[in-house]
Chains A and B, each alone.
Chain A
Amino acid sequence: MSVKTDYKELEVLAQRGRWLVISTVAGSGAGHVGGPLSAMDLMVALYFRVMDVRPQEPQWPERDRFILSKGHSAIGQYTVMALRGYLPVEELKTFDKGRSRLQGHPDVTKLPGLETSTGSLGQGLSVGLGFALGGRLRGQKFHTFILIGDGELQEGMIWEALHIAPRYKLGNLTAILDWNGLQQFGWLLAPGEKHRGDRRDPWAGVDLKTIFEKLGWRVLEIDGHDYSQIVPALDAAKKFGDSDQPTIIVAHTIKGKGVQITEGKFEWHSKVATKEELYAVAAELGVEEVGV
C-alpha cells in the first residue's frame, strides 16, 4: 500500500516508458503507440506503487494480479515490466522479432509475470473475475486489477462479466477503464463537433458511470494522467478488497498522451515513427541517447 505522496519518481518513469514504447515500435517496424501511452501512467502506478508483486519471483502465489485486457497495448506493459525488473530493458528490442518472449499481444506461455493471454478484445475481465472468485474460494488475499479499453468496451463479453462480478460480491476485483476516446478507426467527427481526440468518442453522451453503478459496481472517476488521483484511487480500490462490491475506476485519458505528435490522433493507434519524428520525440522527452 502506498504511503508516498510524491509522484515525481512515477512521472519520470512514465516519461522513460513513453520513449521506450515509441522507440521500440520504431525499431520493430510495427506496433501500437496511442494505447500504450494512454495507459502508461495507470500501469506505472500499479506496478511501482500499488500492486504487491515480486519481479524476481513472478509466480509468487500471493501476488496481486494484473491483466492488460486491451492486449494490443502489450508493448506498454512490457516496458513497465522491464522498468520494474521483470526483464532486462535491453530485451524490449526483441519485440515482435521472432523467438521473442515479447509477442505482439501478451502471451502467458512465453513471459513469466503475465497472468493470461489477451489480444482478442474484451476477454480480460472474465479471467480476472475467475482470479478474484478463486482467490475468495482459496481464502487468499491478493487483489486483481484488469485494465480495459473504451474501444473493447464495445465487446459483448465484457458486459457479461460486468453483470456477473457484482453478483459474486468480488470486492477483490478492480476494473480500470482507460477511456481515451479513440480507437483504431472509429467514427468521423460531425461538422462542428468537438472531442478530445480527432475522431468521435465511442461513448460520447453515454453515462457510463451511472450504468456501472446500476450494475452494482463501486465507481471511482479520475484523471488517468494525474498521479495524485491515480494512486489514491487504486489504493482505495485495494482497501475495498474485503468488501462485497467490485470497483471500477473510470480513468479519463488521452490517446497518445505525453508526446506532442501522437496526442489525440487516431492514426497513432498503430504507427511507426520516422527517424525525424523519433529525434523530435527524443528532444521533447529529454532523451539523450536516441540510438536509432
Chain B
Amino acid sequence: MKALRDVFGETLVALGKTNPNILVLDADLANSTKADKFAVEHPDKFLEMGIAEQNFVGVAVGLASLGFVPWLSSFTVFFTHRAVDPIRMLVAQTHANVKIGAAYAGLLTGLTGKTHQDVEDLAIMRAMPGMTVLAPADEFEGEAMIRWATEFAGPVYLRLARDASPPVFDSDYAFTPGKTYHLREGYDLLLISTGPQSVRCVEAAERLAEQGISAGVLHVPSIKPVKTEEIVTACEPVPIIFTVEEHNVFGGLGGLVAEILAEHLPKLMIRFGIEDRWGESAPNDFLLDQFQLSGPRLSERIVNRLRVAKS
C-alpha cells in the first residue's frame, strides 16, 4: 500500500528517464508533495519556483509552448484558489499542455485544518471548459493517470490524496478517460464515489451486506470527461443512489451525477459529502468519523436513510 504522493514522485522520476520533455515545477512544497524525489534524480529538469503559485502556472504555459510537458506540484488549495485566474485564462482558455499535480486533496491533509482542506476544487475545476479532472482511488490508478496525462495533449487537473488507501486495482489497471468502474455489484442501492472515498464505499458495502443489504459501488475516477451513458446504465437497476465524496455536496461528484440523472433517469438520489461547511485539524480517522465518510459511518447513514425511505 503506497501513498499517492509517493506514487506521484516515483512515477515522475520514471517518466523523466524516458520522456525528454518532462519538467517539474515546485512551489516550495517538494518534500511534502514528494516532487523532491524528481529533484534528486533529475536536478536539471526540476525548477524551484518559490512560494508564488500564480507565477509558476504562467511559467508552465510558456514552457509548454516550447514543447515541454510541465508538471506543476503544489497543494490543491493553492491551485484552485490562489492560482485559479492564471489556470483559467492562461491554461484552460488556451488549452495549454500543462499538468496540475494537486496534492493534499480532500479532507485528509495531514493535520493542516480548513485552510488546506479543499472542499470546492471539483466544482471549480469541472466548471472550467476544456479542463480534464481526474481523481485516482489508489496507487495503481494514480500511476496510470500520471502516465496518461503526460502523453495527453492538453491541460489536466489531477486530484491526489496525501496518504495511502487499500488498493482496489492492480498493476494491470489501464486508465481510459471518462470510463467508470464497478468495484462491487449490488441490487438494493448504488454508491457512486471518486478518489480514495471509493475504497471506503466498498468497505461500507461490505458492512451493508452483513445486514442483508446489497449495495453496488461505482467508482468515477474521471470527473471530466465522464461517460454519461455508463452512469445512467449503472443507475438503472437500483431504486436509490448515493453519491459519496470528500468534497462539498454542492457542485462536485454529487452535482455531476444529479445533472446526469435529472436529464436522463430521474430517480431518488442522496448526496453524501461535506455539508456546506469547513473542515478542521484532526487525524484522518477523526475527520472521517466526524464527516461521516468512514466505512462504518457510511453504512449506518445508509441504513438510516433506507429506513426513512421505507416509512
Q: How far is the CB of B246 from chain A (nearest CB, A)?
A: 30
Best-buried of B23, B61, B62, B88 by chain A (most CB within 10 Å): B62
| Pairs of residues from A and B, 3 with the lowest C-beta to C-beta distance, nearest first | A130-B62, A126-B58, A160-B55
Give per-residue flags for A138-176: 1 if the beta carbon is below 8 A from chain B beta carbons, else 0.
101000000000000000110011011001000000000
Q: Is the CB of B62 within 8 A of A116?
A: yes
Residues on the A chain within 8 Å of B66, using CB: 130-131, 134-135, 137-138, 140
Question: Complex: how many Å from CA A125 to CA B66?
Answer: 16
Give per-residue flags for B45-85: 1 if the beta carbon is below 8 A from chain A beta carbons, else 0.
00101101011111111111111100000000000000001
A127 at the interface (CB under 8 A from B): yes
Q: Is the CB of B93 within 8 A of A126?
A: no
Q: Is the CB of A160 within 8 A of B95?
A: no
Q: Identify A161's interface contact among B47, B55, B60, B63, CB under 8 A.
A: B55
Residues on the A chain within 8 Å of B95, using CB: 109
> Which residue of A is nearest B27, CB measured?
A160
> Which residue of A is nearest B96, CB measured?
A116
A15 at the interface (CB under 8 A from B): no
Residues on the A chain within 8 Å of B86, using CB: 120, 123, 126, 157
Q: Identify B62's interface contact among A107, A129, A167, CB under 8 A.
A: A129
Best-buried of B65, B66, B85 by chain A (most CB within 10 Å): B66
Q: Identify A134's interface contact among B49, B50, B54, B68, CB under 8 A.
A: B68
Q: Is the CB of A164 within 8 A of B60?
A: no
Q: Which residues of A contact B (CB under 8 A)?
A: 107-109, 115-120, 123-135, 137-138, 140, 156-157, 160-161, 163-164, 167
Q: Is the CB of B61 within 8 A of A127?
A: yes
Q: How far is the CB of A78 from chain B (nearest CB, A)?
A: 18
B290 at the interface (CB under 8 A from A): no
Q: How far is the CB of B73 from chain A (nearest CB, A)?
A: 16
Question: Complex: how many Å from CA A118 to CA B59?
Answer: 14
Contacts A156-B54, A157-B54 supplied; 13 other A-B pairs, CB < 8 Å: A107-B93, A116-B62, A116-B65, A116-B90, A127-B59, A127-B90, A129-B62, A134-B68, A140-B66, A157-B58, A160-B54, A164-B49, A164-B52
Residues on the A chain within 8 Å of B93, using CB: 107, 109, 117
Can you name 10 A-B pairs with beta carbons within 8 Å?
A116-B65, A120-B89, A125-B58, A126-B86, A126-B90, A127-B61, A130-B59, A137-B63, A160-B52, A161-B58
Residues on the B chain within 8 Å of A115, using CB: 65
Residues on the B chain within 8 Å of A117, using CB: 89-90, 93-94
Question: Complex: how many Å from CA A160 to CA B68?
Answer: 22
Q: Is the CB of B63 within 8 A of A130?
A: yes
Range, interface on chain B: 20 to 34
Q: Identify B85's interface contact among A120, A127, A140, A160, CB under 8 A.
A: A120
Residues on the B chain within 8 Å of A124, using CB: 58
Q: Identify B94's interface contact among A116, A130, A137, CB under 8 A.
A: A116
Question: Complex: how many Å from CA A137 to CA B68?
Answer: 10
Q: Is the CB of A126 within 8 A of B62?
A: yes
Residues on the A chain within 8 Å of B50, using CB: 160, 163-164, 167
Q: Is the CB of B54 within 8 A of A130?
A: no
> Which residue of A is nearest B98, CB measured?
A130
Q: Is the CB of A126 within 8 A of B54?
A: yes
Question: Complex: how many Å from CA A119 to CA B63?
Answer: 20
Q: How far is the CB of A243 from chain B (nearest CB, A)?
A: 20
Residues on the B chain within 8 Å of A132, using CB: 62
Question: Complex: how many Å from CA A58 to CA B90?
Answer: 20
Tell whether A133 pairs with B54 under 8 Å between CB atoms, given A109-B93, A117-B94, A120-B89. Answer: no
> Which residue of B is nearest A105, CB measured?
B89
Question: Complex: how many Å from CA A120 to CA B91?
Answer: 13
Q: Is the CB of B54 within 8 A of A129?
A: no
Best-buried of A126, A130, A133, A160 by chain B (most CB within 10 Å): A130
Q: Is the CB of A123 within 8 A of B58?
A: yes
Question: Complex: how many Å from CA A156 to CA B83?
Answer: 11
Best-buried of A118, A132, A160 by chain B (most CB within 10 Å): A160
> Which residue of A is nearest B88, CB measured?
A120
Q: Is the CB of B52 within 8 A of A134?
A: no
Question: Complex: how many Å from CA A156 to CA B85?
Answer: 12
> Which residue of B is nearest A124, CB measured?
B58
Q: Is the CB of A134 within 8 A of B55?
A: no
Question: Complex: how many Å from CA A135 to CA B86?
Answer: 21
> Which residue of B is nearest A161, CB measured?
B55
Q: How far is the CB of A130 from chain B (nearest CB, A)?
A: 2
Question: Complex: how many Å from CA A130 to CA B55?
Answer: 10
> Which residue of A is nearest B52, CB measured?
A160
Best-buried of B49, B50, B58, B68 by chain A (most CB within 10 Å): B58
Q: Is the CB of B89 within 8 A of A119?
A: yes
Best-buried of A119, A126, A129 by chain B (most CB within 10 Å): A126
Q: Is the CB of A126 within 8 A of B65?
A: no
Residues on the A chain within 8 Å of B68, using CB: 134, 137
Question: Complex: how many Å from CA A157 to CA B60?
Answer: 14
Question: Complex: how many Å from CA A134 to CA B61?
Answer: 10
Best-buried of B52, B67, B88 by chain A (most CB within 10 Å): B52
Residues on the A chain within 8 Å of B60, using CB: 130
Q: How far is the CB of A127 from chain B (nearest CB, A)?
A: 4
Residues on the B chain within 8 Å of A128, using CB: 62
> Which residue of A is nearest B57, CB measured?
A126
